[in-house]
Amino acid sequence: MSAPSAVPRRVLLGATACVSLLGLNRLLAACSGPSAGAGAAPGPAAAPAAPAADSYRLRPFTPGSAPGAAPPRQPVPVRSEAALTLDLPGKKIALTLDDGPHPTYTPQVLKLLRKHKVPGTFFVIGENAHAHPDLVRAIADEGHLVANHSWSHPQLDTLSTKRVRRELGDTSDLIQDILGAPPGLARAPYGAWDKDALTVCAELGMEPLGWSVDTNDWARPGTSKITASVLDGAHSGAIVLTHDGGGDRSQTVTALGQVLPKLLDRGYELVLPV
């Protein structure tokens, strides 16, 4: 069982924005910046108080700043596709959660992760993060990773490059405003990357991340099926896709309560994918 890093939470988040995905070479001098207040500028459109439940859920594809300023983004190499597994030795698994933060289910997930002393990676929707900046801070403060899942959950490979840049860029800007550092990871809604979107992702200093274990929990198939999908699909280097937002995620929360101790009993170590 591995506890989240003892490194200060905001430093950990800032460092992940400055390193390549799965590289193992940690940053020696972590990027840092002051945390801004909750009043971040809206994204591509005026941010609603809260998006309608399940309004954007579709079946995923299987696949030198002045003092006080935030650190600049460092571009990374353009990838040909998103990483689907961890390039780490041993029985390592990364738990990822999409579509939050959600005022009901994200705190429940955080409580489970705290109980089992394991980290998670939260791919947040910009409009949800704008509505709930306190939850974004809570995620980071507890040692978990905050990552980019676009502003409004569109299918990126159907958009113009300009719109992709707004979807990803505005979300990164908001995360930076809230936490003092931009995210270093991004996940396309539905896993739908194309060359242009991957290029924008790299220019914004983010590595694209997919998954190798899909729980299909977005469809609420039942707690037992979600649990079985993780336990049956678990493997060294697995990246597990679950959701803490986008609708009723009570089945996911219950399933995670069953899955986490069993994975740990099987000798898996839950890690952050950086």
Is residue 243 annotated as part of the catalytic site, yes or no?
Answer: yes
Active-site entry in 130, 144, 153, 243: 243
Count of structural domains within the chain: 1
Q: What is the pLDDT of residue 143?
A: 97
Q: What is the pLDDT of residue 201?
A: 98
Asked if residue 72 belongs to a domain, the reply is no
188 has a pLDDT exceeding 60: yes
Tell me the three state secondary structure of residue 155.
coil
**Per-residue pLDDT tens for 94-111?**
999 999 999 999 999 999
74 has a pLDDT exceeding 60: yes
68 has a pLDDT exceeding 90: no
52 has a pLDDT exceeding 90: no
125 by Cβ neighbours in 10 Å (0-12 / 13-18 / 19+) ranks as buried
What's the farthest any 2 CA atoms get from each other in the chain? 53
- Are residues 126 and 170 in contact, defined by beta-carbon separation less than 8 angstroms? yes
Lookup: tokens for 51: 């998006």
Asked if residue 44 belongs to a domain, the reply is no
Mean pLDDT of 219-234: 98
Q: Given pLDDT bands bounded at 50, 70 and 90, which one contains residue 114?
A: very high
Taking residue 39's Cβ as centre, other Cβ atoms within 10 Å add up to: 8
Asked if residue 51 belongs to a domain, the reply is no
The CATH code of the domain that includes 212 is 3.20.20.370
Asked if residue 145 belongs to a domain, the reply is yes
Q: What is the pLDDT of residue 30?
A: 36
Q: What percent of the chain has pLDDT over 70?
A: 73
Q: What is the pLDDT of residue 11?
A: 35
Asked if residue 1 belongs to a domain, the reply is no
Active-site entry in 98, 99, 177, 214: 98
Asked if residue 56 belongs to a domain, the reply is no
Asked if residue 76 belongs to a domain, the reply is no
* 204 or 47: which leads in pLDDT: 204
Q: What is the pLDDT of residue 81?
A: 97
- H or E segment and range at residue 75: none
34 has a pLDDT exceeding 50: no
- Are residues 94 and 239 in contact, defined by beta-carbon separation less than 8 angstroms? yes
141 has a pLDDT exceeding 90: yes
- Are residues 5 and 12 in contact, defined by beta-carbon separation less than 8 angstroms? yes
Q: Could you tell me the residue range of the domain that residue 161 belongs to?
A: 9-21+88-270
Q: Given pLDDT bands bounded at 50, 70 and 90, which one contains residue 189?
A: very high
Q: Which of 6-15, 87-96, 124-133, 195-204 has the lowest mean pLDDT?
A: 6-15
What single letter denotes the amino acid at residue 12?
L
- Are residues 234 and 209 in contact, defined by beta-carbon separation less than 8 angstroms? no
Average pLDDT of the chain? 82
Q: What is the pLDDT of residue 53?
A: 46
Sign of CA dihedral 137, 102, 82, 260: positive
Mean pLDDT of 57-78: 49
Q: What is the pLDDT of residue 72?
A: 55
Asked if residue 259 belongs to a domain, the reply is yes
